[in-house]
Amino acid sequence: TDLSHIRNFSIVAHIDHGKSTLADRLIQVTGGLSDREMKEQVLDNMELERERGITIKAQTVSLSYTARNGKTYQLNLIDTPGHVDFAYEVNRSLAAVEGSLLVVDASQGVEAQTLANVYQAIEVDHEIVPVLNKIDLPAAEPERIKEQIEDVIGLDASEAVLISAKTGLGIEDVLEAIVNRLPPPEGDREAALKAMLVDSWYDPYLGVVVLVRVVDGSLKKGQRIRMMAAKATYTVDNVGKFTPHRQMVETLGPGEIGFITASIKEVADTNVGDTITDEKRPAETALPGFRPSQPVVFCGLFPVDSAEFEDLRDAIGKLRLNDASFEFEMETSAALGFGFRCGFLGLLHLEIIRERLEREFNIDLITTAPSVVYHMYRTDGEMEELHNPADMPDPVHIDHIEEPWIKATILVPDDYLGAVLKLCEERRGIQQDLTYAGNRAMVVYELPLNEVVFDFYDRLKSITKGYASFDYQIIGYRQDDLVRMQILVNEEPVDALAIIVHRSKAEARGRVMCEKLKELIPRHLFKIPIQAAIGGRVIARETIGAMRKDVTAKCYGGDATRKRKLLEKQKAGKKKMRQFGRVEIPQDAFINALKMD
């Protein structure tokens, strides 16, 4: 295809502003799918994604559109993941196209992820077309939102396209804007092959499928290719496009977006952002900006029933086939037995994997407290990454500890600003900026990721009745006074409950954890002391009193069904318990003990 007849674009938006609905409409209007095939939100094809209304893995679609000028264009849409955990994947997807549609809900206006995403698009030099969606809503205020886009983002919004992705109003105007306002790609067909690896996933029929954007040269069947960063070589089996059906093609030329398969067994060789080149005639330099995705949050996953360990190993291996950014290694815990230490890009990523293991593979899991990656500087000068608080070396060998920090941007209606500032201060935040974007405050804080990783987002949502939006990026590692706090149940340390905490917070944190555990662990026939300790020093304690009577005693023996129900309930509850020494700890205690509210 002639480069001047290609347009490559992404849609950037805050969650729920209508990105998926618009993508569906574009596919429908250009005839990519028949009405019968047109189910809602075709691009969000995982059940979980649909339920949560988020897009996890980037998808792409190639559309054919005959414009009002009579010419036919190939429009390639790359869908980007909408969550901060996947910021690097968003950046790479955006770098693979020349322009973006900036979708803003005309009743809501600019939100934190609107800003984060549009700044990413600006960073990769995109031409940006503002699109105001949901103008069918009575609360839509397109004129006010145009002003807001100009004030806050500094983009000219005078020619914003007004649409309703729901009713289909204005969709042709969007297509015309793509053709007329976004630039065509540039590239050299004769040059050595350079293609960006945008995404990859495992397909049961094709093996690993690699989504690519060709920059120079071309890709065809039978070609020997090389992944430059992974240093892996393969032979191309298939070349194709998603229309959104899979359609095989002869070649993918400069400016085009499509997929290849090459009998790749492992996604480990297919890193997002890597450059694919020709083995016989390699490009001299790789495309800029490659860095492998690094997990930042680790936690332990253990089967509730230790007999399910092999099933868990199997399931984790299968998920990993589809997700190169997810890491795991075997772990043994005194409290929980055999399991895996797993690394994730963030908390949402963790949740997704955990839910898929439980739902798709039917494995009951115990999740231990998520922890960030600490840098331990030993007295001998060596740096060691700490993924698990249980592995912390003896403090006498540690010179100092560094933890990851983030820069967080929060947008919130004025009424809730005080509560948000208080929350950030409680979490050791350092305020960087406070400005107004229309009637909303925009606060920028630097925060230790450790303080955010656990329940910050939930707390933020609850103190602002859901009105705050939040986004963050990692800014680096900083030294601080960090210590390991252990929890002792019945005098024994429970490794799965150990956490790394700032010394100034340890006592308060320990007290809350002990109180929580007192509620979470049922009474036994004996007294159970619960203690929080740093090294050998106990900093908080609670005691669970001994059980006095049989639980069923309060049923007065009269009602047999009620008694049986209670016993059944107890039994069902038991399945979710973990024996630890003489004490039974409910499986959810390992995570709930950490919540701070």
Please identify, using beta-carbon distances, which residue of 411 and 500 lies nearer to ligand GDP. 411
15 makes contact, choosing from ligand GDP, Mg ion, none, with CB < 5 to 8 Å by partner type, with ligand GDP
136 makes contact, choosing from ligand GDP, Mg ion, none, with CB < 5 to 8 Å by partner type, with ligand GDP
Give the integer Cα–Cα distance in Å for 365 and 346: 19
Please identify, using beta-carbon distances, which residue of 134 and 320 lies nearer to ligand GDP. 134
Options 9-17, 177-185, 412-420, 428-436: segment touching ligand GDP (CB under 6 A): 9-17
Q: Is there a binding annotation on residue 17?
A: yes
Please identify, using beta-carbon distances, which residue of 19 and 484 lies nearer to Mg ion. 19
Among 10, 30, 55, 388, binds Mg ion (CB under 5 A): 55
Please identify, using beta-carbon distances, which residue of 13 and 197 lies nearer to ligand GDP. 13
Among 18, 32, 255, 429, binds ligand GDP (CB under 6 A): 18
How many other β-carbons are positioned within 10 Å of the β-carbon of residue 433? Answer: 10
Please identify, using beta-carbon distances, which residue of 133 and 490 lies nearer to ligand GDP. 133
60 makes contact, choosing from ligand GDP, Mg ion, none, with CB < 5 to 8 Å by partner type, with none
CA distances for 430 relative to 91, 181, 408, 590, angstroms:
27, 41, 10, 30
Q: Is there a binding annotation on residue 133?
A: yes
User: Which x/- pattern over 450-489 shows residues binding ligand GDP (rule: CB under 6 A)?
Assistant: ----------------------------------------
User: Which x/- pattern over 151-190 shows residues binding ligand GDP (rule: CB under 6 A)?
Assistant: -------------xxx------------------------
Cis peptide before 244 (omega within 30 of 0): yes
Q: In angstroms, how far is CA 206 from the centroid of its own chain?
A: 26
How many other β-carbons are positioned within 10 Å of the β-carbon of residue 543? Answer: 12
- The candidate with the shortest Cα–Cα distance to 187, out of 1, 30, 344, 352, is 1
Burial label for 380, CB within 10 Å (0-12, 13-18, 19+), is exposed
Q: Please state the closest distance from residue 84 (CB atom) to Mg ion, in A.
A: 15
Give the integer Cα–Cα distance in Å for 296 and 314: 24
Please identify, using beta-carbon distances, which residue of 19 and 226 lies nearer to Mg ion. 19
Q: Is there a binding annotation on residue 21?
A: yes
Footprint on residues 4-43 left by Mg ion (CB under 5 A):
19-20
How many other β-carbons are positioned within 10 Å of the β-carbon of residue 19? Answer: 27
Q: Please state the closest distance from residue 272 (CB atom) to ligand GDP, in A.
A: 21
Burial label for 176, CB within 10 Å (0-12, 13-18, 19+), is middle
16 makes contact, choosing from ligand GDP, Mg ion, none, with CB < 5 to 8 Å by partner type, with ligand GDP
Q: Please state the closest distance from residue 17 (CB atom) to ligand GDP, in A.
A: 5
The strand pairing partners of 341, in sequence order, are 300, 329
Q: Please state the closest distance from residue 432 (CB atom) to ligand GDP, in A.
A: 28
Q: Is there a binding annotation on residue 18?
A: yes
Options 11-19, 242-250, 254-262, 580-588: segment touching ligand GDP (CB under 6 A): 11-19
User: Which x/- pattern over 334-373 shows residues binding ligand GDP (rule: CB under 6 A)?
Assistant: ----------------------------------------
Give the integer Cα–Cα distance in Å for 222 and 215: 19
- The candidate with the shortest Cα–Cα distance to 325, out of 57, 142, 577, 534, is 57
Q: Is there a binding annotation on residue 535?
A: no
Pairing of strands 398-413, 374-378: antiparallel
Is 15 a binding residue for ligand GDP by CB under 6 A? The answer is: yes
Pairing of strands 528-534, 337-344: unpaired
Give the integer Cα–Cα distance in Å for 219 and 216: 10
Q: Which are the contacts of 314, defined by CB distance < 8 A and separation ≥ 6?
A: 361
Pairing of strands 499-502, 528-534: unpaired
Q: Is there a binding annotation on residue 136?
A: yes
Tokens read off for 379: 């007295």
Q: Please state the closest distance from residue 324 (CB atom) to ligand GDP, in A.
A: 24
Q: Is 276 helix (H, G, I), strand (E, B) or coil?
A: strand
Written as one letter, the residue type at 596 is: M
Its sign, for the CA torsion 144, 149, 155, 157, is: negative
Q: Please state the closest distance from residue 20 (CB atom) to Mg ion, in A.
A: 3
Q: Please state the closest distance from residue 134 (CB atom) to ligand GDP, in A.
A: 4
Residues at the interface with Mg ion (CB under 5 A)? 19-20, 55
Binding site for GTP: what residues are annotated?
A: 16-21, 133-136
Residues at the interface with ligand GDP (CB under 6 A)? 13, 15-21, 53, 133-134, 136-137, 164-166
